[in-house]
Amino acid sequence: MLRLEKLTYRIGGRVLLDGADAAIAPGHRVGLVGRNGTGKTTLLRLICGEIEPDGGRIELPARWRIGVTRQEAPDGPQNLIDTVLAGDAELVRLHREAETAADAHDIAAIHERLGAIDAHSAPARAARILKGLGFDDAAQLRPCREFSGGMRMRVALAALLFLAPDLLLLDEPTNHLDLEASLWLQEFLRGYPGTLIVVSHDREVLNRVAEEILSLEGGKLTLYTGGYDRFEEARRMRSEQDEKQRQRQQTERARIRAFVDRFRYKASKARQAQSRLKMLERMKPIAEARDDGSISFDFPDPDPLPPPLLRLDRTDIGYDGKPVLRGVDLRLDADDRIALLGANGNGKSTLVKLLAGRLKPLAGEMRRSDKLRIGYFAQHQADELDLAATPVIALARLRPHDADVRLRGHLGRFGFSQERADTRIADLSGGEKARLLFALMTVHRPHLLLLDEPTNHLDIVSRQALIEALNAFAGAVVLVSHDPHLIELTADRLWLVDGGQAKPFDGDLDDYRTRVTAMAGRTGERSEAGQRPGASGRRDGRREAAEKRAALAPLKKQLTDTEAEIDRLTAERQRLAAALAEPELYNGESRRLLDLQKRLAEVERRLTACETAWFDLHAAWDAAKEASAAGGSRRSLDP
């Protein structure tokens, strides 16, 4: 059990946690939510002991191992498999000791422990996690230092998942993931056997993974049952009830105040008036519902243009003469809402760069309206902002002839007050920088918005505001995002970028999820994915499973061999039958015809025998599995 009691923490004179209480049961998966800046990351740092609270205490079992996402990306000459394995300090230590130990008892103890933590399967488990996060077999053997910072952050996440601590603390784990890796991670975390706290602004992650939502608001923690949608509904109902109660209280306070004002100076009523004054003092006011700092986006509508806005005909797209995508056919009209699907590295951003005019076609044709204006949001564009400037100065550089009031009015469309418009960009939050990029990209009233991962730094409230603004926008939108909620509520059409092609996807996002899961081939993987070697109960379960597999292995091998023989004989029978169907055979020597007929008879005899043996083996296999399952059930019922 993880307990937070009267937890208080201040930073720079600001109270982030004010006597907060919460209790999380072992094995529960909890989503930690709150607006940007409320202290979610700080709470994770307090739980893992990186910083000390100003008051209160944190209790958790002493034996628990804690794992938390780090901001530092791994680096070095090791390949990805070895980098992930290095995250398990015990595994590394045991392997080192096994190489140097001389005493027979020490060697036996080391190898016993290596067996207990399934050390022999560690590389396979590491490879499976890396594969799920988007690293194919070849990439797993490349040095870590060859990858970009974002991909190395995926490696850091893989190492943490491989370690499988008792308490797993994840802070925005999908920020560096594409949609495919995010879907895999959701399935992995749904099967995680330990206690999980995940901070995320991805509504789908919180709905699919979390069993409870821990809300941090106003320095207090409140635990809700269910995923994010259920939390949102419960909070809304609670807010409505509080508002009704507040209004009733205000009515009662006004009635009491009127009685006191009327009778406090009358001797016959003075005692009653004084009693009511004390009642007023004891009546704790119910606070008015807090303003959650709601953000609004307002994309200015463009001038109308005749269709199509843009068209690609058999277009090849790439770099330095080498195509990434070939033969792309795409037409964009003013009312289009297109989301691009496909794993990272398949060319989604490359296609968006072509549409934005950052790349030229290698072949084929791109036709666009002469008056077409494009707003482009690149996922790493925030790194190019002038941190010394202010939002109003950055906007004035794009519109030097606009009056100051007009510039500030445009910034106001994206939630910038007078104060924040004059704040140095270096001092803005990640979400504010993202909103500034929206303001800059739309200052010329674009007809087409190209959005490449626009939600990375937006909290849930801001993401919802973005959805509403995109749906109200009169122009066209092409979207790349790992946020399924954003795609589902804004995109009318899906394009799959995969295998050097970019083509319409025939289906919705649920169909795409099914496709991704099927391609990953993860049958049964959820039960294996989150296993933490070393926990005695799970270790015993693995040992039992291994013993069952060992007992059934000979029977399984006979079945497999028999099936292979049946396939071979069936193919040979078809070949012989085809040969016997040739008319020329009956015009030649009878010896060849006789040999083929004898061989066919022999093959059919052996095939019948194999099929009979297969049925018997399969019956024995089913009986053995039932007996094994029954034995396991009896053991589970033993006291």
The pLDDT score that the predictor gives to residue 528 is: 42
Q: Looking at residues 407-432, what average pLDDT do you find?
A: 86
Name the band, by pLDDT with cuts 50, 70 and 90, for residue 465.
confident
Written in H, E and C, the secondary structure of 271-312 is HHHHHHHHHHHHCCCCCCCCCCCCCCCCCCCCCCCCCCCEEE
pLDDT of residue 477: 94
Q: Is the peptide bond before 323 cis (omega within 30 degrees of 0)?
A: no
User: Is the model's pLDDT at 634 over the cut of 60?
Assistant: no
pLDDT tier, 102 (very low <50, low <70, confident <90, very high otherwise): confident
Q: Residue 320 pLDDT > 60, yes or no?
A: yes
In angstroms, the CA 440 to CA 395 distance is 6
pLDDT at site 281: 65
Report how far apart the first and last C-alpha atoms of the chain are (Å, whole number).
24
- The residue type found at 107 is I
pLDDT of 623 > 80? The answer is no
pLDDT band at 284 (very low <50, low <70, confident <90, very high): low
Say how far apart CA 394 and CA 386 lie, in whole Å: 8
Least confident span in 79-83, 105-109, 135-139: 105-109
Section 510-526 average pLDDT = 67
The predicted structure's pLDDT at residue 496: 92
The band of 520, judged by pLDDT with boundaries at 50, 70 and 90, is low
The more confidently predicted of residues 289 and 314 is 314
Greater confidence (629 vs 306) lies with 306
* Six token digits for residue 509: 């996002």
Alpha helices in 48-201 (DSSP H): 80-85, 89-100, 104-116, 122-132, 137-140, 149-163, 179-190
pLDDT value of residue 264: 61
pLDDT digits (tens, 9 = 90+) for 493-512: 999 999 899 999 988 888 88
Q: Which of the four pLDDT bands, split at 50, 70 and 90, describes residue 617?
A: confident
pLDDT over 50 (residue 525):
no
Q: Judge whether 614 and 562 are in contact, CB under 8 Å.
A: yes
More confident residue, 37 or 359: 359
Interval 179-222: pLDDT, tens: 888 888 998 999 888 999 999 888 888 999 999 999 998 889 99
Question: 169 by DSSP, 3-state: which?
Answer: strand
> What pLDDT score was predicted for residue 383?
65
pLDDT at 456: 78
- pLDDT for 546 equals 46
Contact 481, 451 (CB under 8 A): yes
Could you give the CA distance from residue 44 to residue 17 in angstroms, rounded to a whole number? 12
Q: How high is the pLDDT of residue 535?
A: 40
Q: Are strands 363-368 and 374-377 parallel, antiparallel or unpaired?
A: unpaired
Of the candidates 530, 634, 500, 506, the one whose C-alpha atom is nearest the C-alpha of residue 167 is: 530
Concatenated DSSP letters for 552-596?
Answer: HHHHHHHHHHHHHHHHHHHHHHHHHHHHHT-GGGGGS-HHHHHHH
27-31, 236-240, 488-492, 615-619 — most confident range: 27-31
Task: List C-alpha distances in Å: 633 to 96, 538, 547, 630.
Answer: 40, 16, 15, 5
Residue 447: the pLDDT is: 94
Neighbours of 335 (CB within 10 A): 11
- Residue 593 reports pLDDT greater than 60: yes
pLDDT digits (tens, 9 = 90+) for 362-402: 999 999 888 999 999 887 766 678 888 999 999 999 988 88
Predicted pLDDT at 24: 92
Alpha carbon distance 230, 236 (integer Å):
10
On average, the pLDDT of the chain sits at 81
In this predicted model, which residue has the larger pLDDT, 422 or 97? 422
| Least reliable range by pLDDT among 32-46, 64-78, 584-598 | 584-598
Q: What SS3 state is found at 209?
A: coil
Say if CB 171 and CB 505 are below 8 A apart: no
Q: Among 224-233, 296-305, 344-353, 559-568, which is the least confidently predicted range?
A: 559-568
- pLDDT at residue 139 is higher than 50: yes
